[in-house]
Amino acid sequence: MTETRSGALQDPWEMALEQFQRAAQHVPLKRGIREFLAYPKRELTVNFPVKMDDGSVRIFTGYRVHHSTVLGPSKGGIRYHPAVTLGEVRALAMWMTWKCAIAGLPYGGAKGGVVCDPKSLSAGELERLTRRYATEISVLIGPESDIPAPDVGTNAQVMAWIMDTYSMHRGYSVPAVVTGKPVSVGGSVGREEATGLGCAIVAREALRLAGLSLAGARVAVQGFGNVGSVAAAALHRMGAVIVAASDSRGGVYHDRGLDPQALVEHKRATGTVAGFPGARPLTAQEVLEVPCDVLVPAALEGQITRENAARVAARVVVEGANGPTTPEADDLLRARGVLVVPDVVANAGGVVVSYFEWVQDLQAFFWSEEEVRERLERLLARSVHEVWRVSQERGVDLRTAALVRAIERVAEAVHTRGIYP
C-alpha cells in the first residue's frame, strides 16, 4: 500500500485493475479472455534468512510475480523498499505487461521485491540478501523465462550479484539473466540513463503533439533518484527550466531554475536535494503543486490523488514513476484539461534499453552508445505517436489509449496461440 498525502491508503493492485477494466471496455474481448488478462499468471513468496554483520540471523520476505508470459519471457524490475507488498508487486508486474506490449517488445510482464530498507544494510548484508533472494527466485528467473532489472532501491551492482549467483549455480556465465548490469559484466551502454532520458524524449514528443514547446517550459520533478535526476538533466539539455525537485527528505524550488548537475552533486554529498544553496525549501509533497508547465512524478505510486489533484498546477504530467496517479486523480486532471502522459509510455525507456541489453548479451555482440540512443529515440517516438493517434481516433485519454493498444496486442497473441490444451 502507498500512503498518500491525505493519509488515505491506495492499493496499487486495485489501481492497476481499475485502469485495465476502464481500457478493456474499449476492446471487444470475450469475458474469459478479459479475466485471463487481468489475473497474474504466477506469484512466488519467499521467506529467507540472512546473516547480519552482528552475527544475528534475520528473516526477509520477497516476491516475484509473473503477470503474463503471452508475448515472451517475462521482464520486470526488482524493488528493495520497506513498503513492498504482494499487491504492489502484482500491480507493477501488470504494468510491465502493458509497457512491453506498447513498445512492441517480445516480453510479458513481471516484477519482484524484497521488504527491506537497503539504506540501513551494510554492503555485505545487501550482497548476502541479494544472493539468497536470487537463489530463492531462481526457480523462475532465466534468460529464456524471466529477466529481472533494477527498480527502486536496487542498482547495477545488485544486478551483478544476481547475475553472478545465477551463473555460479549453472557453472558458466549467464549475462542475459538480468539487465541493468554494469557494462563490465555484459551491461549495455546507456542503460543506466535510459529511463530518465526516455522520459525526457517522451515529454518532448508529447508536448510537440499537444502544440507546446519544451524550450523554456518550467518543469518540477518529484523523486530525484535514478529516473528523476536523469530526466531533469535531459530536459534541461533540451531547453526546459527545472524549477523544483524533491526526494524523500525534502524539496527545493528556484524561480529562475536549478542546475540539475549541481543538484546531483549536492545530493551525492549530503544524501538529499534539500538544503541546495540558493533555493527555497519545499516539503516533499509541495513539489507536486508548484506553478510549472510540466510535472514529472518520478518517486512512487499513488502520489497524485483525489486529495491533491485539484492543486496540481502543471499543464502536462509525464509519469516517470509507475502508478503515480490514481484513477480518481486521472479523472480530475482530465476534467481540468491537464494532459497526463502515462507511465507505461513515459518510463518505457528503461525496459527498451533492457531489451537491447538482453539482445546484445544473447548475441555476445555489443552496440555503440549512438546506436543505443538512436534506436531508443526511434522506438519511443513511434510509441508516443501511436498512442496519440489511438487517443484521437477513439476519443480517449492517453492512458486508456496506451492500454487499449497493449490489451489488443496481448489479446491477439492469446487468440493466435489458443487456450492450452
Burial of 369 (0-12, 13-18, 19+ CB in 10 A): exposed
Cell 520476505 maps to which residue? 61
Q: With contact defined as beta carbons under 8 Å apart, do 356 and 374 qualify?
A: no
Judged by the rule CB under 6 A, the positions of this chain that interact with ligand NAD are: 150-153, 195, 222-228, 246-248, 284, 298-300, 320-322, 347, 350
Gap between the Cα atoms of 191 and 189, Å rounded: 6
Please state whether 271 falls in left (phi above 0), alpha (psi between -120 and 50) or beta.
left
Q: Quick check: helix, strand or coil at residue 120?
A: helix
The distance of closest approach from Cβ of residue 252 to ligand NAD in the complex, given in angstroms and rounded to an integer, is: 12
> Which amino acid appears at position 125 of this protein?
E
Task: Give the active site residue among 75, 99, 111, 181.
Answer: 111
- Residue closer to ligand NAD by CB (options 146, 247) is 247
Cβ-proximal residue to ligand NAD, closest one: 225
The distance of closest approach from Cβ of residue 28 to ligand NAD in the complex, given in angstroms and rounded to an integer, is: 31
The distance of closest approach from Cβ of residue 24 to ligand NAD in the complex, given in angstroms and rounded to an integer, is: 23
Active site residue 111: yes
- Residue closer to ligand NAD by CB (options 29, 153) is 153
- Residue closer to ligand NAD by CB (options 242, 284) is 284
- Residue closer to ligand NAD by CB (options 158, 396) is 158
- Residue closer to ligand NAD by CB (options 224, 356) is 224
Gap between the Cα atoms of 71 and 68, Å rounded: 8
β partners of residue 47: 61
DSSP state string for 44-93: EEEEEEEE-TTS-EEEEEEEEEE---SSSSEEEEEEEETT--HHHHHHHH
> Which amino acid appears at position 345 of this protein?
V
389: which 3 cell numbers?
493517434
The distance of closest approach from Cβ of residue 256 to ligand NAD in the complex, given in angstroms and rounded to an integer, is: 22
The distance of closest approach from Cβ of residue 295 to ligand NAD in the complex, given in angstroms and rounded to an integer, is: 12
Cell 534468460 maps to which residue? 143
Burial string for 303-342 (b: 16+ CB within 10 Å, else e) reads bbbbbbbeebebbbbbbbbbbbbbbbbbebbbeeebbbbb
174: which 3 cell numbers?
549467464
The distance of closest approach from Cβ of residue 233 to ligand NAD in the complex, given in angstroms and rounded to an integer, is: 13
- Residue closer to ligand NAD by CB (options 109, 320) is 320
Q: What is the set of active-site residues?
A: 111
